[in-house]
Amino acid sequence: MRVLWIILAAIFAAIAAHADVSPPRPVAPDHGGAAVVVTGPAEVVFDWSEDNCYVAQIPDLPVRAFRDGDDQVNLILSHTAAHRMRGPDFASLVLDCAPVSASRKLPDPESYADQEWIAAVYSEDGQTVHALIHNEFQGNWKSHEVCATRDYFKCWMNSITYTRSDDGGATYVAPDPPDHLVASLPDRYHPDEGIYGLFSPSNIIKRGGYYYAYLKAQTYPLELQHVCLMRTQALDDPKSWRFWDGRAFDGVFVDPYRDDPNVVERTPNCAPIALPQIAEMYEGITWNTHLGKFVLVGTSSDPTREPNLFGFYYALSDDLITWSHRQPLLHARLPWRSGGSQTNYAYPTLIDHQSPSRNFETTGATAYLYLTRNNAGHGSLDRDLLRFPVEFRQPD
């Protein structure tokens, strides 16, 4: 095993020397337990400098995949306009320059329809595709006239909304506001006070008749963050999602602009899920048939480790609520720990190309870790989509 890791380290070092960047480094698993392990170097799936349809066409959230009614793989590269790569398999994907969705850019926070990213998709039949939207109200825009500082991070409120496709993922159309609202926190928009809201849901996973998704909450006034879990039995009903309140899935999301103020005032935020164990990991969730466990991957560090590695981690669960303590998968430079034009990495998720699930919600003995490489810093649009082969190992 030690020889294998020496070989892998040499491969990654050779890639770094050739590309003049600092690549992620695989982390050797702790002995004894079940493990997720990177087994080879990265492959470029989307090269922005060669493949983009226009300058702002980038992979800006974790990619999501499903098979449509023609048995074609759809891989969604999401930004404020989303595009799909499509083909019979993951080795034959071709980028479609026709956007499948675009942002409505409405200038008021109560519409929940400003800058919109497709964040999660799910289809039962390959024809109707349900999607969750990461919606950013960006009050820093002059056209919005609501945030004096014009500072992106001070003027940002986030919510989760719904859209759908009835043509196999070629186009998505959302209900009119506010009927598309899925999830928001109970405070109204506070201009100039910082980032607030519910963010970028994970992929959707179905278990026992329910559809589940993780999401991140960030609250005023200290911008504290934690991971929430929500579920529904009706993907076509945005109001049907309920969050875990610490005891059951009884939490009801409210609209602070339209619901009874007395009800809004009494409504708690969604409860943190396994905060010490998974910290703020939420990006990708699958059921692993090889381990018989749920596997969560996300961006994290771990102050309890020596050294504290920053990068991408995984955790294991039997029930989606209780999680093992996260373990490092790739040591990588993260956007908030890099300066200027330094290359960094973001948006991890797992996809098993051989998954029998139409929505790739399962993984087997092997899969791929997909992530975005920001070639010239997170403020740049020069972003590539990479994938690393990974292996799931049972306990010794």
- Asked whether 82 and 99 are in contact (CB, 8 A), the reply is yes
Alpha carbon distance 12, 325 (integer Å) = 27
Alpha carbon distance 301, 289 (integer Å) = 27
Using DSSP, state whether 297 is helix, strand or coil.
strand
Alpha carbon distance 59, 180 (integer Å) = 24
Per-residue pLDDT of the chain (396 residues; tens, 9 = 90+): 443 443 344 434 443 433 334 678 999 887 678 999 999 999 999 999 999 999 999 999 999 999 999 999 999 999 999 999 999 999 999 999 999 999 999 999 999 999 999 999 999 999 999 999 999 999 999 999 899 999 999 999 999 999 999 999 999 999 999 999 999 999 999 999 999 999 999 999 999 999 999 999 998 777 689 999 999 999 999 999 999 999 999 999 999 999 999 999 999 999 999 999 999 999 999 999 999 999 999 999 999 999 999 999 999 999 999 999 999 999 999 998 887 889 999 999 999 999 999 999 999 999 999 999 999 988 899 999 999 999 999 998
pLDDT one-digit tens code per residue, 332-379:
999 988 878 899 999 999 999 999 999 999 999 999 999 999 999 888
Taking Cα atoms as reference points, which of 169, 204, 173 lies closest to residue 77? 169
Please report how many Cα atoms fall inside a 13 Å half-sphere around the Cα of residue 369, on the Cβ side.
31
Alpha carbon distance 181, 112 (integer Å) = 7
Backbone phi, psi, residue 377, to 5°: 95, 160
Which tokens belong to 91? 């080795």
Task: Identify the sign of the CA torsion 84, 363, 70, 210.
Answer: negative
Amino acid letter at 137? F
For residue 198, the cross-strand partners are 217
Q: Where are the beta strands (DSSP E) in 24-108?
A: 25-26, 35-38, 43-46, 64-67, 73-77, 81-87, 94-95, 101-102
- Asked whether 75 and 93 are in contact (CB, 8 A), the reply is yes
The DSSP secondary structure of 352-366, one letter per residue, reads -TT-SSTT--EE-SE
Cβ neighbour number for residue 366 with a 10 Å cutoff:
14
Which tokens belong to 235? 């993907």
- Asked whether 341 and 54 are in contact (CB, 8 A), the reply is no
The pLDDT of residue 339: 79
The pLDDT of residue 14: 40
Report pTM.
0.93
Backbone phi, psi, residue 152, to 5°: -50, -50
The pLDDT of residue 379: 86
Mean pLDDT of the chain: 93
Taking CB atoms within 8 Å and a gap of at least 24, the contacts of 49-56 are: 49/382, 51/95, 53/83, 53/95, 53/97, 54/97, 55/381, 56/80, 56/81, 56/381
The DSSP secondary structure of 79-93, one letter per residue, reads SSEEEEEEESSTTS-
Amino acid letter at 151? D
